């Protein structure tokens, strides 16, 4: 081992590897290593400037028992930044301490000539680099010792039933409804960012934790120490960025369905809402309003005067958001120029095709600045200049026909090395230009994101999930873990996306329960693909805005008078909370707090709150207990310390107990903190 000390960093070398530990924000370190002799200079998610830290770095000799029973002197190095300390031993094992208590230690099981626990003959090392044949990237495997009793949260969105991720294996890859945001919050008082957009895997195992990047030039992670999840998230968003202040005129209802096929349909819906006395803040124009994928323009047959449509909607106080896909059909007028200029994703083998839904398509290479410029200029001319307010950046993973990441290449390198950053770069096609042209905050809708996406105007929704109670329950933990990964602007399709029959009473019950939950979430948005598909297409062409199917109506009045009455009541609840919701968005902007919060976020000292995943806090005032099962009309709710008022009856309950409350279809249990 060779150690060297720089101003705020510890650097060491061993067996061709260079490793650097440096202070990076309050009580935090950034740790990088490489086998290539120099770092790439990529900051990835660590985009924010950080204040200088008062750092201590020193190297000392310590006694070690060696294999023959004698004592030997070995060098170790220590770096301290506030409450966080890292110690590197003589074989390069890094151990982290919070307030001098060990919180994380690299896993090593190879003989080092001592009698230590790590000195064994298994030849398993802490940082394993294996060169990828024929390339300059490595497959990196980083291991840490597992901590018994530890709970792990965050990491983005995975369609599973587990809020606590301890024991889980997570693919570090983007898919439709799967969002890799690799920031973990530990119950031991630290946060860990895997600052690497490579495709890979993490396993929070009982025996060890393992992070794998399938193709990378360097290891890069960031670790912070704090008292609890609120402070951890504040430190994390301090170095990765925070959301802007959300516009007040988007905190109410967003109306959407699959799909409004004509501008007349859009205007009829908007006029009916106005007649019903229900203000909608934004109406969404979904896919295949266009000619073919990649033309990025309205089909004039069904959208003859988009500006007039937008002007009328604006006169009602309604903003307009339009769906954009990153796929370019070979029939598109933009395909030839973009292919010739190298603005599309390349395939390593076989035909140039990355997506095959409703066309033979190649998706755009958003890592290329010329691509971003080209796409924005087309969309500005065909949408933004008509007054369109925002963009629904769908398929933003991107949604590959087959997720063979090793077969795709961007201008920034192989997809295996950088693909997880794609949705963030896709959002910046629009955010960078709109923030320059707009007088207010930019708000676009995306199906995916990565670490730091919160600073680019991204409302992220949970993707095309089934219309089932099981999927609904999964979305609760998805939203809570997304919030802990630093993404406060998160939403779902109310009722789920994939619905076979809107007339099924079981679906209608699910819709109401999901709608009630959505009122107490960040973005209140109606959407879904509603069957049955018995509505004929508008024409018999095999392209353009008329040929593709549409779903059943999805407006509030579409599901019968009884359900409409419930939805209007909860709409009024949402509107009545406007000032409170504004305060929650301000907190997200100031310190990174999510709007929907795990129970332990507000009550970190209550051990019971670390076990709960079927109830949550909407900010600091409301305890929300969603109904997650068909024909469930009561449920138990745990109340932490304090006094709690049941909003349906006004009854006051003492905390630190579990109560069972009624939940008729007209009511979802909500308690207000007294």
Q: Which of 27, 281, 394, 493 is catalytic?
A: 394
Residue of 218, 433, 464, 614 marked catalytic: 464
pLDDT, tens digit (0-9, with 9 covering 90-100), for 73-84: 889 999 999 999
Note the pLDDT tens digit of each residue in 71-117. Answer: 888 899 999 999 999 999 999 999 999 999 999 999 999 987 676 77
Tell me the pairing of strands 634-639 and 657-662.
Answer: antiparallel
Q: Give the pLDDT of residue 184.
A: 99
Task: Reply yes or no on whether 394 is catalytic.
Answer: yes
Going from the N-terminus, what domains does the chain have, and what CATH number goes with each?
Answer: 2-240 (2.60.40.1760), 325-371+392-442 (no CATH), 598-673 (2.60.40.1180)
Q: CA–CA distance from 481 to each of 11, 156, 201, 490 (Å)?
A: 34, 6, 17, 10
CA distance 631 to 618: 25
- Give the single-character DSSP code of 181: E
pLDDT at 9 over 90: yes
Q: Kindly report the length of the chain.
A: 674
Alpha helices in 143-222 (DSSP H): none
Statement: residue 623 has pLDDT above 90:
yes
384: DSSP letter: G
Look-up of token digits 């073919």: 292
Distance CA 312, CA 189 (A): 52
Tell me what pLDDT residue 332 has.
98
Kindly report the CA angle at 628 between 624 and 631, in degrees rounded to 5?
120
Q: List pLDDT tens digits, range 111-143.
A: 876 767 777 889 999 999 999 988 889 999 999
What are the pLDDT digits (tens) for 457-512?
Answer: 999 999 999 999 999 999 999 999 999 999 999 999 999 999 999 999 999 999 99
Write down the pLDDT at residue 68: 67
Confidence (pLDDT) at 115: 60
Per-residue pLDDT band for 177 (boundaries 50, 70, 90) equals very high
Catalytic residue among 112, 329, 397, 602: 397
pLDDT digits (tens, 9 = 90+) for 239-255: 999 999 999 999 999 99
When the pLDDT of each residue in the chain is averaged and rounded to a whole number, the result is: 96
Tell me the percentage of the chain whose pLDDT exceeds 90: 94
pLDDT for position 57 = 97
pLDDT at 116: 72
- Give the pLDDT confidence of 33-74 residue by residue, as tens digits: 999 999 999 999 999 999 999 999 999 998 876 666 778 888
Task: State the CB neighbour count (10 A cutoff) for residue 38.
Answer: 9
Per-residue pLDDT tens digits for 515-570: 999 999 999 999 999 999 999 999 999 899 999 999 999 999 999 999 999 999 99
For residue 386, name the pLDDT band (cuts at 50, 70, 90). very high
Q: How confident is the model at residue 290 (pLDDT cuts 50, 70, 90)?
A: very high
* Per-residue model confidence as pLDDT tens digits over 435-451: 999 889 999 999 999 99
Q: Three-class SS string for 77-111? A: EEEEECCEEEEECCCCCEEEEECCEEEEEECCECC
Percentage with pLDDT > 70 across the chain? 99
Query: What does the pLDDT look like over 296-331, one tens digit per residue?
Result: 999 999 999 999 999 999 999 999 999 999 999 999
Whether 469 and 476 have beta carbons less than 8 Å apart is answered as no
């Amino acid at each position: 081992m060779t150690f060297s000390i720089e101003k705020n960093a510890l650097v060491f070398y061993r067996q061709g590897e260079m490793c650097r530990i440096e202070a990076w924000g309050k009580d935090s370190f950034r740790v990088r290593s490489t086998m290539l002799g120099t770092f790439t200079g990529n900051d990835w998610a660590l985009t924010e400037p950080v204040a200088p830290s008062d750092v201590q770095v020193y190297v000392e000799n310590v006694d070690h028992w060696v294999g023959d029973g004698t004592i030997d002197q070995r060098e170790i190095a220590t770096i301290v930044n506030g409450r966080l300390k890292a110690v590197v031993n003589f074989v390069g094992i890094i151990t982290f301490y919070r307030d001098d208590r060990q919180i994380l230690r690299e896993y090593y099981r190879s003989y080092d000539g001592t009698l230590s626990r790590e000195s064994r003959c298994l030849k398993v090392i802490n940082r394993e680099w294996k060169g990828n044949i024929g390339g300059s990237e490595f497959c990196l495997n980083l291991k840490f010792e597992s901590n018994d009793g530890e709970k792990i949260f965050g990491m983005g969105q995975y369609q599973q039933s587990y809020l606590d991720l301890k024991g889980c294996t997570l693919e570090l890859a983007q898919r439709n409804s799967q969002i890799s945001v690799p920031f973990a919050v530990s119950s031991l008082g630290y946060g860990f960012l895997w600052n690497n957009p490579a495709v890979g895997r993490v396993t929070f195992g009982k025996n060890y934790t393992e992070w794998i990047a399938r193709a990378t030039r360097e290891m890069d992670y960031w670790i912070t120490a704090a008292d609890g999840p609120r402070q951890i998230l504040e430190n994390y968003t301090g170095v990765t960025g925070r959301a802007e202040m959300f516009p007040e005129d988007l905190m109410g209802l967003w109306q959407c369905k699959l799909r409004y096929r004509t501008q007349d349909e859009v205007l009829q819906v908007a006029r009916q809402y106005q007649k019903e006395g229900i203000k909608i803040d934004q109406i969404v124009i979904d896919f295949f309003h266009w000619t073919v994928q990649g033309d990025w323009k309205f089909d004039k047959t069904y959208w003859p005067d988009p500006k007039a449509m937008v002007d009328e909607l604006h006169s009602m106080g309604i903003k307009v958001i339009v769906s954009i896909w990153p796929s370019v059909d070979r029939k598109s007028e933009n395909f030839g120029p973009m292919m010739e200029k190298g603005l599309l994703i390349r395939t390593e083998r076989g035909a140039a095709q990355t997506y095959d839904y409703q066309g033979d398509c190649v998706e755009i290479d958003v890592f290329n600045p010329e691509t971003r410029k080209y796409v924005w200029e087309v969309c500005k001319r065909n949408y933004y200049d008509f007054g369109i307010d925002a963009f629904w950046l769908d398929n933003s993973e991107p949604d590959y026909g087959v997720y063979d990441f090793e077969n795709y290449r961007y201008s920034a390198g192989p997809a295996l090395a950088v693909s997880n950053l794609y949705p963030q770069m896709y959002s910046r096609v629009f955010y960078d230009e709109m923030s320059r042209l707009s007088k207010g905050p930019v708000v676009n809708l995306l199906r995916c994101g990565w670490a730091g996406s919160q600073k680019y105007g991204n409302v992220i929704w949970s993707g095309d999930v089934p219309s089932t109670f099981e999927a609904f329950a999964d979305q609760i933990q998805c939203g809570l873990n997304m919030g802990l990964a630093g993404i406060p602007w998160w939403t779902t399709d109310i009722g789920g996306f994939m619905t076979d029959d809107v007339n099924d009473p079981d679906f209608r019950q699910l819709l109401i329960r999901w709608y009630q939950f959505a009122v107490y979430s960040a973005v209140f948005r109606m959407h879904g693909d509603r069957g049955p598909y018995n509505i004929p297409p508008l024409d018999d062409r095999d392209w353009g805005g008329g040929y593709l199917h549409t779903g059943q109506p999805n407006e509030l009045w579409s599901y019968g008078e009884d359900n409409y009455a419930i939805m209007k009541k909860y709409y009024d609840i949402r509107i009545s909370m406007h000032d409170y919701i504004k305060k929650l968005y301000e907190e997200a902007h100031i310190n990174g707090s999510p709007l929907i919060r795990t129970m332990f976020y507000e009550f970190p000292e209550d051990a019971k709150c670390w076990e709960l995943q079927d109830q949550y806090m909407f900010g600091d005032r409301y305890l929300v207990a969603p109904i997650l099962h068909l024909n469930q009309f009561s449920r138990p709710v745990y109340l932490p310390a304090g006094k709690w008022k049941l909003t349906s009856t006004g009854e006051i309950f003492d905390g630190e107990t579990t109560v069972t409350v009624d939940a008729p279809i007209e009511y979802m249990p909500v308690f207000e903190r007294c």
